[in-house]
Structure 1
Amino acid sequence: MSRTPASKPGRIGHMGFDDEIERSAAPVFVRAALERMVEADPDLLDRLREDDRMRRSLLAVVAASRSLTRLLEGHPDARGILADLDARPPVDNATVEHLVHWKHLEYLRIAARDLTGLDDLEATGQALTRLAIDVLESACAMSLAEGLAVIGMGKLGGQELNYSSDIDVVFVSEGRREDIEPLARQVMGIAKQCFRVDANLRPEGRDGPLVRSIDSYEAYWDRWAEPWEFQALLKAMPVAGDAALGRRWHDTAQRWLWSRPFSADDLRSLRTMKRRAEAEVTKRGLADREIKRGPGGIRDIEFTVQLLQLVHGHSDPALRSPNTLATLRELAAADYIGDDDANLLGQSYRFYRAVEHRLQLVDDQQVHTLPTNEAAVDQLARVLGYRDSVEGTAVERLRSELRRRQVTVRSIHERIYFRPLLEAFAGATEAMSPEAAVERLTAFGFTDAKRTQAAVRELTRGLNRSSRLMQQLLPLLLDWLSTSPDPDLGLLMLRNLFGTAERTRLLVEAFRDSAEVAQRLCTLVGTSRLLGDTIAHNPDLVARLPYEERLLTLPRDQLVASARAAIAWRGELADRQEALRRWKDRHLLGIAARDIFGHASLETVGEDLTRLAEATLEAALASLDPRVPFAVIGMGRFGGAELSYPSDLDVLFVYEGTSTTATEEASRVATRLVRFVGGSTPAERIFEVDADLRPEGKQGPLARSFDGFLSYWRDYAQTWERQAMVRARPVAGDRDLAERLLGALEPRVWGTGLTPDEVLEIRRMKARVENERIPPGEDPLFHLKLGRGSLSDVEFTAQMLQLRSGVRATGTLPALAALERADVLDGSDADVLAEAYRYCGEVRNRWFLVNSAPSDSLPTQPEPLRWLARSLDTTPTELRERYRRVTRRARRVVERVFYGQQG
């Protein structure tokens, strides 16, 4: 069927439709075949000239198929079939020869309808399936095979046969094997005159009996069947013989298929089997040309669909169709697969099957591989409708589309077929009604039964409307929520997350692609209402949860650029505040998530929060456009780069200039900066800004000039102010100005050590803090910040030792390490203080997230204490006992080293 650019009139001369011949996929072959037919049947030419439909059908068939061309040349009645493609010839099973000839005629009609575009892929597959079923029914009737049911497997059962498919069957009968098996073989023998019939999918394959009873099938499925055999049952359908028996067998098979748990081991087994089949194709060097078993081919699509059926079909009967395209549509409708992925897989499946059909029509051979002969590939491309164009030759365009489809399908297949959510579902695929969910709540650790029952019902109603995938996911979600600190809170937050169609869509897509997304989301919303609310406002962040690199805090320069971009185009202060607050919350979620997932130490959390605060101040300050050199100096934990979640931003504001104009501008900038970042109300707050460590405290100007700072420090600075400057550091604005000021103050802060009176003053101030600063309602015995042996004890001790020795380090933990290296602090004492600092800092951070509000002492109520303890993977008793241990040891060091007590 080689092609030349143009064909010359043959013996018959012009036919009257020569242009159509030239436009066919194989002009030379078509003209030669027509000449032979017309020579044998001279009336044919007139019929073709007069009958447009017959002519188009004949040209399309002859251009595509040598085997059908031979049929048309040898059987005049075959040419008559093309005159009316709507008229299906009646089944003729008078003899085997009659049945074979009828099969060829109907096969021709189906092919002609396909090649002329009257039928799409699904209609063609159904027509070929009906043809095969009629042959099997005729074979049963001709064999007098009573009491025998024929079950179609594979593409026969799925009503998606190819032109040269094997007809996969198994047989069932309740009769005696010695009586019924010869009849089954006779049925196969007749059917094999029309099709390749394969019964090797039966239990034990070729070594097993050809016919089994239903009980025998059940015994085999119970004890011996492999996962792939249950996969094969997806497409099992009664097709011929005893209809009632066939239905009984099918009902039994369905019960075994869908009541049997689909385990993670089954999942791995099927993946291994497929991997071996692919390796064989690759070994034979056919990966690029094999459209069925090669990477990105038909099998990738079919296995993806079937695996999703096996995983989800236990709970969703709508997924139990044996047909690939029908199931693919249902998977998309129920959100088990995204619409885009489903469309691409469906389009690629139709493309591959069209190529497969055209390959098989050439010589009625079971072919799935592109030919190596270029002329044959050219012929294939043209039968498929490709023509040479500016985009390339017909062959180049076909190969380009094939490569594109292979890459696309493989990518989707690997993303779905190997996604972890399938592992999570395997063995846990029972869907839950609201009633069933409620029954499990107590066992799962949910305590507020009435509120939680209402949440489950509301959530399930919403999931039923939006996604059957999510309905199935509910048991897993409840399992994961049960391991979170507060399952009741988690369920309520999860219900709130599904409050809008947009959020539901984002969550379904994220859950579908990753079980870890769902599991980690359950952990976060079951830990913190604050984080749950952040996610509700930023549902796109959910997809980042499994990827630590996507949760990392950016370097400072990138954070600053990002913060500035977030507010750059907004004019009103309120709009800029809102944008910056949303920006901060999005980045805070990453910090908190890494903390909760155990991927960030106390030091890392402190550094990340500090960078976030610095970027916030830089962006806010830049938007105010200071007209004098203006700098922000971080103090306290902010200056030490060791912020906690509830920390205020302790700051000093310094500007350059002595004029009234400069003073007024600096005051404007400082006031507006505090208002911008601190907000006028808690709802507007981005960070709490505290400038009370400035000279003269609240009584002094908010911003002070460079010279004003030097004058104050020369004449009025007190010991506590020296101590505060231990952690002072430039954090925003004019860095050179800030560094010059700190350099100028350095001799006053560090140069003189501490006199005995100054040491006594620091000790007295610390004692006042212990006695006066713990707010009412907070437990002084378990106070994480101001309690004996807790954070403030360690900070005061480190700072006093630094001032006495001149050892400089920014931050408490780095200071302890530096003091140890300088032999100012004994190594064991440094370890004890560092342990207490880390423990109290970590618990305080976590309690803020769990409580979703600042609180510096361990909770006194049992429930909040339990939530906090679970979040830290411990028990309430052990949490309090460890607090006692580490703070008691730290306090002993503080009393000896800080207070100078002996013994």
Structure 2
Amino acid sequence: MAGADRAHRLSDLARAGFQELSESRERLGMLAETLDIPVGWLLEKFSLAGDPDAALGRVLDIAERHPDVLGALDREQGERLALLVGASPALGDFFCRQPTRLDEVLAGGGRLVSEVEAKGRLLDAVAGLESEPAWNALRVRYRELLAEVMLFDLLEGRRGDPLAPFDEVAASLSALASGALEAGLAIARADLAAGADGGAPVPAERLAATRIAVVAMGKCGANELNVVSDVDVVFVVETVDPEIVDGDALIRVGTRLASEMMRAAHDPAFEPPLWQVDPNLRPEGRHGPLVRSLGSMMNYYERWAKAWEFQALLKARAIAGDIELGEEFVARTRAMVWASGSREDFVGSVQRMRQRVTEHIGEGDLEYQLKLGPGGLRDIEFSVQLLQLVHGQYDDRLHLRGTLPALHALVEGGYVARGDGERLAADYRRLRVLEHRLQLRDLRRTALMPRDEEGLRVLARSSGLARGGDELRRLWEATKREVRELHLKIFYAPLLSAVAALPEEELILGSDEARARLASIGFRDPDGAMRHLTALTRGTSRRARIQRNLMPVLLQWLAEGTDPDFGLLAFRRVSEANLETPWYLRLLRDGAEAAERLTQVLSNSKYAAELLESIPEAVAWLEKDESLRPSALPTLLEEMRALASRRESIDDAAAALRAVHRREVLRLAMGRLVDVIDDAEVALGLDAAHTALLDGLLLALVGAESRAGQGDRGAGESGAAAVELALIGMGRYGGRELGFASDIDIMAVYRAEEGVPAEAAARTAQRLISELRRLVSDPRFPVDLDFDLRPEGKSGPVARSLASYRSYYERWSLTWEAQALLRARPVAGSPGLGAAFVELADEIRFPSRFGENEVREVRRMKARVEAERLPHGADPKRHLKLGPGGISDVEWLVQLLQLRHGAEHAELRTVSTLSALAGADELGLIDAEGREALEEAWIFASQVRSALKLWTDRASDVLPFAREDLEGIAGVLGLPRGRTSELEERWLALSRRARAVFERAFFGFGEEDERFPAY
């Protein structure tokens, strides 16, 4: 009794791993009494279980429901039972339901299962049965065999290295899946013959004439299956005799067979489903036919399949049904699989496939994902597959299905360093063992690490990889870090050894292999990339050594951009421009975020890269968000005015001012590209940069004219001091709604001092504006001032006096000129004169009466703009400015509302399109839904125009067709790669909505029967 009492102490239970101490002590006593076994022995054996509490509960359940079964077990079998159900309470529940073969499973001590045996045992189980009874028999026999395999895994892991049995266990799990599908197909044939699937009975000769092959993809095809996993398959059918089963009948019968086979595995029945059979990797995915003939399959893969579909075929293996037919399908697709690495957009398709597997993961789950998260299993699998597809074009030794065999072949072939390959293989096995134990617990598909301490503790005990939850967490984090580091090293370090001929490297890729690998990660000009890498990394200098250490990571980041070739070239140029700058490499080495941001800027924007080359020290801004935010207008004005006043020469002053302007535009471009600022902040920053530049140039000009005028006064010249000058912002500049592609629309107004002849004042003003246009022109960064919105357009004088403007607007102005004035705003020069011009503009742009004749005139002008200004051959639906629902539609509608109602409503007296639109909503001139549609279309079109400028360094108003340009826009806007169709669909949807609102609101004025020509 003393020994029994001691065994019952709670501290002993705690040391054994129990958590529910009091309850477990009571349960142990009950079990000891039932089996007539000492409590101390039971406590010792349950201490071996991953979850002693769960193990004890399941063993008690079996004892209560099947006392004879449990009583017949010897002590060694009892120990194995505790180990098995402690790792898998779900198998404990299974044996509570189905205890018949429990002693046999435990007596053998666990074992591996071959595919031949699995098929034989599972076919025997379902022989002579139909539908649900057969399903249950299949599932029972499957789980008995699964228990044997997993018991082998647990016992082997406990005896030595827990990773050692993984390869054989994964192969056995794949064999069980093959056997289950073979048995499911046998059930399906029996059901179709009897019509038990709900369809008409199929005659025996038709079933016999129908050949169907089940081809496994993914882990099952690779003989690396999980404990519980989707089993990815495709179905191929052929007929033995076309006279018995013709083409249509073949597809019908094949579809019924495939459907019924899948039901056997995963439809509800008394015994729970095994796993999901997933046929969605078939041609056309879930939208394509479930089964295809071999000819139809080959036609699809030869004509329509995308590169990622050949990656999916990499692991294809015939596993059930007509094996000969399945092997013929696999054999006939091999050449296409190994040629896929040279297909157009190969890298993009692989990246999109990698992305698809993570799209549906909740944000909170990503860091807990063993499989799909950073440093997880998918990183290893995709790394190996990508290297196989790149180098397998030339090396048959890489034509392998399994991840681990392929990794070994990559090492033996010299594509991966031996030490790196061994570490990555160990990491893969470690993550897979953890995944197996997670799934084994509840026989449920999962790859999420536990978030609670208890879950981690149980997983550590079950896997044998750590002594406790904290240790397991540290091991997992270290494994993830190592996988990410090895991924980078395996992909990119060999490239550097190829171009730099580094003797200390463990391996050196040949130039052909290096080019292939560069092409595989997205470089279109591998030769050029190798030249740049050579220039950056060759040599023994400290700079070259640092670049070699940095380049693996930098190459990966460049490859994630839209144009890695241009990005690498620009990186080389920026690095050479910073050659004598001591902080540059230190920043890249120590400031990971700055380095990643630099590659993001260079590979996604020719506009920013060109600017950065002229201001290479701006790389330092990438370290801090604050350095990438717009400078305030007062700060810029102060800086520009100080520069203008300190320069002796007007040209020197202009050069200094343009340099500041260029600097600020670069700041905005970089801030936008790395998502520190948005487009609204860009608009304000561009407004400040342009305004400060114009203000500083005017100050320098007036000062120069004043100095020159003082020397000419004796000759009777009045000089520039006699003229007051103001610049009026128009269009998007006037509305403070600039993007990188926006023109700088302005008008010039002057006012002469009393007594100055009108002609002399006009000449002075014209000269000042002419000089301003010359000085603003930047050979490194084109800046053009557009005066075309002035009265009389290009044929009118470039500058007018305030009195001349008044006279013109009162006597001759057209409706469009009043409309243009809606966004007029003083931006530089004399504040008093600017204010006076605004007073004049208010009289014109907010008239007390705007009648039906004027409304009709606005409509006619809009019709002419669309008919005459749309470029010849352009698709109107893709024109962001003039197309239906584009910028023009929104602005013309807003401006019409302002012209009609601005005089009476202050909410509409604004130069901002979006503010006026909000005012119209407040006033009930447009409903909230309509406002939202117009606002979204206007904002999106503006964003795309800016993104196009950043991407191509060219202004365009047309949404491009070229995928590369659409990818460039997506890269600038921070949208996912490989989904350019969504970008197009979003614009077409937004513009359709906006056009509908425009037509309803724009033509709601005046005669109802007057219609505007629609596209």
**Which residue does 1:723 correspond to in 2?**
819
CA distance in 2, matches of 1:423, 1:604: 39
CA distance in 1, matches of 2:995, 2:728: 31
**Which residue does 1:831 correspond to in 2?**
932
**Which residue does 2:262 correspond to in 1?**
none
**Which residue does 1:546 correspond to in 2?**
623
Q: How does 1:684-833 map to 2 (within 5 A)?
A: 686-776=782-872, 778-806=874-902, 807-833=908-934
**Which residue does 1:561 correspond to in 2?**
638
Partner-residue secondary structure (3-state), 1:789: coil
**Which residue does 2:26 correspond to in 1?**
none
CA distance in 1, matches of 2:495, 2:577: 22
- Structure 2 length normalisation: TM-score? 0.46
Deviation at 1:796, TM superposition (A): 0.7
Contact conserved, 2:612 with 2:618, CA < 8 A, in 1? yes
Deviation at 1:616, TM superposition (A): 0.8
**Which residue does 1:853 correspond to in 2?**
954
Q: How does 1:460-499 map to 2 (within 5 A)?
A: 460-461=537-538, 466-499=543-576
**Unaligned runs of at least 5 residues, structure 2:** 1-160, 165-417, 428-480, 499-508, 703-719, 903-907
**Which residue does 1:449 correspond to in 2?**
526
CA distance in 2, matches of 1:642, 1:751: 24
Seen in structure 2, the aligned counterparts of structure 1 residues 454 and 747 have a Cα distance that, compared at 3 Å, is: same
Seen in structure 2, the aligned counterparts of structure 1 residues 763 and 501 have a Cα distance that, compared at 3 Å, is: closer
Among all aligned residue pairs of Structure 1 and Structure 2, give the percentage whose two residues are the same amino acid: 36
Larger Rg belongs to: 1
CA RMSD, aligned part only?
3.4
Seen in structure 2, the aligned counterparts of structure 1 residues 760 and 501 have a Cα distance that, compared at 3 Å, is: closer
**Which residue does 1:891 correspond to in 2?**
995
Tell whether 2:724 aligns with 1:629: yes
Partner-residue secondary structure (3-state), 1:784: coil
Q: How does 1:82-101 map to 2 (within 5 A)?
A: none
Seen in structure 2, the aligned counterparts of structure 1 residues 597 and 838 have a Cα distance that, compared at 3 Å, is: same
Amino acid in the other structure paired with 1:633: I
CA distance in 1, matches of 2:539, 2:996: 57
Deviation at 1:665, TM superposition (A): 2.0
Q: Deviations over 1:345-369 (max 9, x none)?
A: xxxxxxxxxxxxxxxxxxxxxxxxx
**Which residue does 1:880 correspond to in 2?**
984
CA distance in 2, matches of 1:655, 1:526: 46
CA distance in 1, matches of 2:808, 2:483: 67
CA distance in 1, matches of 2:980, 2:419: 47
Deviation at 1:809, TM superposition (A): 1.8
Contact conserved, 2:562 with 2:603, CA < 8 A, in 1? yes
Seen in structure 2, the aligned counterparts of structure 1 residues 588 and 864 have a Cα distance that, compared at 3 Å, is: same
Tell whether 2:591 aligns with 1:511: no
Q: 2:769 aligns with which of 662, 667, 670?
A: 670
Deviation at 1:489, TM superposition (A): 1.4
CA distance in 2, matches of 1:504, 1:855: 37
CA distance in 1, matches of 2:619, 2:726: 37
Seen in structure 2, the aligned counterparts of structure 1 residues 256 and 698 have a Cα distance that, compared at 3 Å, is: closer
Q: How does 1:431-450 map to 2 (within 5 A)?
A: 431-434=493-496, 435=498, 438-450=515-527
Seen in structure 2, the aligned counterparts of structure 1 residues 465 and 513 have a Cα distance that, compared at 3 Å, is: closer
Seen in structure 2, the aligned counterparts of structure 1 residues 664 and 460 have a Cα distance that, compared at 3 Å, is: same
Deviation at 1:791, TM superposition (A): 0.7
Tell whether 2:748 aligns with 1:653: yes
Seen in structure 2, the aligned counterparts of structure 1 residues 487 and 757 have a Cα distance that, compared at 3 Å, is: same
CA distance in 2, matches of 1:447, 1:498: 22
- Structure 1 length normalisation: TM-score? 0.51
Deviation at 1:774, TM superposition (A): 2.7
CA distance in 2, matches of 1:704, 1:684: 31
**Which residue does 1:333 correspond to in 2?**
none
Seen in structure 2, the aligned counterparts of structure 1 residues 642 and 432 have a Cα distance that, compared at 3 Å, is: same
CA distance in 2, matches of 1:463, 1:839: 50
**Which residue does 2:32 correspond to in 1?**
none
CA distance in 1, matches of 2:621, 2:780: 27
CA distance in 2, matches of 1:448, 1:535: 23
Q: Deviations over 1:172-197 (max 9, x none)?
A: xxxxxxxxxxxxxxxxxxxxxxxxxx
Partner-residue secondary structure (3-state), 2:561: coil
Partner-residue secondary structure (3-state), 2:959: coil
Seen in structure 2, the aligned counterparts of structure 1 residues 525 and 464 have a Cα distance that, compared at 3 Å, is: farther
Deviation at 1:817, TM superposition (A): 0.7
Amino acid in the other structure paired with 2:914: L
**Which residue does 1:109 correspond to in 2?**
none
Seen in structure 2, the aligned counterparts of structure 1 residues 839 and 521 have a Cα distance that, compared at 3 Å, is: same
Deviation at 1:256, TM superposition (A): 9.1
Q: 2:609 aligns with which of 532, 541, 545?
A: 532
**Which residue does 1:68 correspond to in 2?**
none
**Which residue does 1:391 correspond to in 2?**
none
Q: Deviations over 1:795-842 (max 9, x none)?
A: 111111111111212211111111111111111100000000011011
CA distance in 2, matches of 1:623, 1:462: 50
Partner-residue secondary structure (3-state), 1:526: helix
Partner-residue secondary structure (3-state), 2:742: coil
Q: How does 1:366-445 map to 2 (within 5 A)?
A: 428=488, 431-434=493-496, 435=498, 438-445=515-522
CA distance in 1, matches of 2:577, 2:630: 29
Amino acid in the other structure paired with 2:925: V
Amino acid in the other structure paired with 2:527: K
Q: Deviations over 1:623-648 (max 9, x none)?
A: 10152221111111111000111212
Partner-residue secondary structure (3-state), 2:607: helix
Amino acid in the other structure paired with 2:727: V
Contact conserved, 1:462 with 1:498, CA < 8 A, in 2? no
Amino acid in the other structure paired with 2:761: A
CA distance in 2, matches of 1:550, 1:622: 28
Deviation at 1:506, TM superposition (A): 4.4
CA distance in 2, matches of 1:737, 1:793: 33
Contact conserved, 2:630 with 2:681, CA < 8 A, in 1? no
Contact conserved, 1:424 with 1:515, CA < 8 A, in 2? no
CA distance in 2, matches of 1:879, 1:463: 47
**Which residue does 2:674 correspond to in 1?**
597
CA distance in 1, matches of 2:784, 2:795: 19
Q: How does 1:27-426 map to 2 (within 5 A)?
A: none
Deviation at 1:445, TM superposition (A): 2.0
Contact conserved, 2:866 with 2:882, CA < 8 A, in 1? yes
CA distance in 2, matches of 1:623, 1:594: 30
CA distance in 1, matches of 2:483, 2:726: 54
Seen in structure 2, the aligned counterparts of structure 1 residues 853 and 697 have a Cα distance that, compared at 3 Å, is: same
CA distance in 1, matches of 2:901, 2:943: 29
Partner-residue secondary structure (3-state), 2:749: strand
**Which residue does 2:661 correspond to in 1?**
584
CA distance in 1, matches of 2:539, 2:656: 31
Partner-residue secondary structure (3-state), 2:747: strand
**Which residue does 1:844 correspond to in 2?**
945
